[in-house]
Chains A and B, each alone.
Chain A
């Protein structure tokens, strides 16, 4: 095992980043950290349909989705019929394009365990709807550096890294999506501040993490969704591997988070450090965790933990309120030490906490080193290749009959989100 100081430091964080040399550790997340961000992104009005557009049908008019994309103009609808499409689609030149399947389960993009991403876009306003992406070496659906984005009624399963992935983007929505069988996050939002985005009515199962959000926050709401049987549940986190840490201001509200102890889920090494934890705020600040049901976790139900990368990120200013947390192996509620302070736990239904009295007004919320010790042990096991992990290629397929398709797939395309 090749230990260095940084490895030891990063061990206590929830997830890993890129490797760098050891250096001075700066402490971030103090009580006096101020933020101009608001956590919740309110629900927006429905997106406005486009008036003028062309419908381009695959396979009737085009053999491949990529051929339709190449021909398309802004605001067009690419309507894809049932079939297995062995391609990796990229959209780099045509903003406000809509790619929509006519049937969520029968329109399948298949990477055949060889191609990189199902659909990758780097232009604004692209909407992906009502289809499935599987067996890609990287991500199922991928937006990068865009303003305006939406994924609706998408299924991503058995892709190697992320299911539905979004980085450095703003103003968007994941809705009625499903992800399973990924080594990192089933859903991911990274490096946006503010994100101006919502994740709602989604389901994430049997992934390394149900949701991962590195340095993502500000007008960002994760709500009305289910995260179960992942290795770790919902994990907003601060890391130096992406721009603009720390993670700041996400609202996690009204979700069902259960049994994220899956030791047969596929896992990218460091995701194992969040094993058995329902909601892990890893070095995040000013987050709101409200009205969730969190149960059956081997380690912690809701944890405000630290994240150590090149800098040490301490949780501070987080609000954990009105949650029902039960049947956690180590503690229902926990704050890891060291903490930046200002973490408020109130009106939660729970049985155990670390430190004790976290929610009873005694003010004993200074943090407990025990959660950090638990994470350190998990990290050390990862470093020695002792972490259990399933094969992303072999993970159980989604329960297709439980996933609803988009109503009226022939309807006109619409903008990504109303702004």
Chain B
């Protein structure tokens, strides 16, 4: 349950202990996931703190627990969608290495397109779950109006 008398900077409300704990743990996990994902491109210590903080702040600003969980699904879905990008980026970044002559040809393939679409689908499903959690009442209402 969010309050309206937050003493924390950046926030105009405070969540209960459970929601706060979920926010904190999930932020750390998503920061760790992002650092792992992009470890071939950037040092983990440059990725983990900003991602964890951004996720934490963005999620905690949601007005209620449903919004918090929904935002976590959005964040997770985004990172899942970025997974094939993280796999492919080092191919392009290694373009100037001796012997590498056709990095784009190895990136722009049907296999990679399928991988990208697969991860995009999983990310979209996670996003859809988040959207449903955040807008469940409105969705139910619209569905009942349709009947």
Which chain A residues have a beta carbon within 8 Å of chain B's beta carbons?
Answer: 229, 258-265, 276, 296-299, 327, 329-331, 352, 354, 356, 368, 370, 373-374, 377, 380-381, 383-384, 386, 388
Q: Does B100 contact A (CB under 8 A)?
A: yes
Report B48 CB to chain A, min CB distance, Å.
10
Q: Quick check: A388 and B97 within 8 Å, CB to CB?
A: no
Report B70 CB to chain A, min CB distance, Å.
28
Chain A residue nearest to B98 (CB atoms) is A259
Q: Quick check: B111 and A296 within 8 Å, CB to CB?
A: no
In terms of DSSP, what is the predominant structure of the interface of chain A?
A: loop
Report A329 CB to chain B, min CB distance, Å.
4
Given A377-B115, A381-B106, A263 contacting B40 (CB threshold 8 A):
no
Q: Which residues of B contact A380 (CB under 8 A)?
A: 111, 115
Q: Does B44 contact A (CB under 8 A)?
A: yes
Q: Quick check: A259 and B106 within 8 Å, CB to CB?
A: no
Q: Does B36 contact A (CB under 8 A)?
A: yes
Given A261-B94, A261-B100, A373-B87, A330 contacting B110 (CB threshold 8 A):
no
Q: A296-B98, A354-B39, A356-B44 are in contact. List 11 more A-B contacts (CB 8 A).
A: A229-B98, A259-B99, A262-B99, A298-B97, A331-B40, A370-B39, A374-B87, A377-B112, A381-B112, A384-B109, A388-B102
A-B contact pairs, 11 of them (CB 8 A): A259-B98, A260-B99, A261-B98, A263-B101, A263-B106, A327-B97, A352-B40, A370-B40, A377-B87, A380-B115, A386-B110
Tell me, in angstroms, the Cα distance from A399 to B82 when the chains sit together: 44
Q: Which residues of A contact B93 (CB under 8 A)?
A: 329
Tell me, in angstroms, the Cα distance from A105 to B31 when the chains sit together: 59
Q: Which residues of A contact B98 (CB under 8 A)?
A: 229, 258-259, 261, 296
Q: Which residues of B contact A373 (CB under 8 A)?
A: 87
Q: Does B146 contact A (CB under 8 A)?
A: no
Q: Which residues of B contact A276 (CB under 8 A)?
A: 94
Report A52 CB to chain B, min CB distance, Å.
50
Q: Which residues of B contact A368 (CB under 8 A)?
A: 36
Report B43 CB to chain A, min CB distance, Å.
8
Chain B residue nearest to A260 (CB atoms) is B99
Tell me, in angstroms, the Cα distance from A331 to B90 when the chains sit together: 10
Contact code string B71-112 (vs A, CB < 8 Å = 1, else 0): 000000000000000010011011001111110011001111
Tell me, in angstroms, the Cα distance from A262 to B98 when the chains sit together: 8
Chain B residue nearest to A327 (CB atoms) is B97
Inter-chain CB contacts under 8 Å: number: 75
Tell me, in angstroms, the Cα distance from A381 to B103 when the chains sit together: 13
Tell me, in angstroms, the Cα distance from A265 to B36 when the chains sit together: 31
Tell me, in angstroms, the Cα distance from A299 to B94 when the chains sit together: 9
Q: Which residues of B contact A384 (CB under 8 A)?
A: 109-111
Tell me, in angstroms, the Cα distance from A368 to B111 when the chains sit together: 23
Q: Quick check: B91 and A298 within 8 Å, CB to CB?
A: yes
The 8 Å CB contact of B90, one of A258, A263, A329, is: A329
Report B89 CB to chain A, min CB distance, Å.
10
Q: Which residues of B contact A330 (CB under 8 A)?
A: 40, 90
Given A262-B99, A384-B110, A329 contacting B94 (CB threshold 8 A):
yes
Q: Which residues of B contact A327 (CB under 8 A)?
A: 97
Tell me, in angstroms, the Cα distance from A373 to B36 when the chains sit together: 13
Q: Quick check: B90 and A298 within 8 Å, CB to CB?
A: yes
Given A259-B98, A299-B90, A377-B115, A356 contacting B39 (CB threshold 8 A):
yes
Contact code string B14-43 (vs A, CB < 8 Å = 1, else 0): 000000000000000000000010011000
Tell me, in angstroms, the Cα distance from A264 to B101 when the chains sit together: 8
Report A283 CB to chain B, min CB distance, Å.
22
Tell me, in angstroms, the Cα distance from A377 to B119 when the chains sit together: 13
Tell me, in angstroms, the Cα distance from A329 to B97 when the chains sit together: 9
Q: Which residues of A contact B39 (CB under 8 A)?
A: 331, 352, 354, 356, 370
Tell me, in angstroms, the Cα distance from A189 to B83 when the chains sit together: 38
The listed residue with most A CB atoms (<10 A of its CB), out of B87, B97, B109, B110, is B97
Q: Quick check: A388 and B94 within 8 Å, CB to CB?
A: no
Q: Which residues of A contact B101 (CB under 8 A)?
A: 263-264
Tell me, in angstroms, the Cα distance from A259 to B97 when the chains sit together: 7
Tell me, in angstroms, the Cα distance from A69 to B39 when the chains sit together: 58
Chain B residue nearest to A383 (CB atoms) is B111
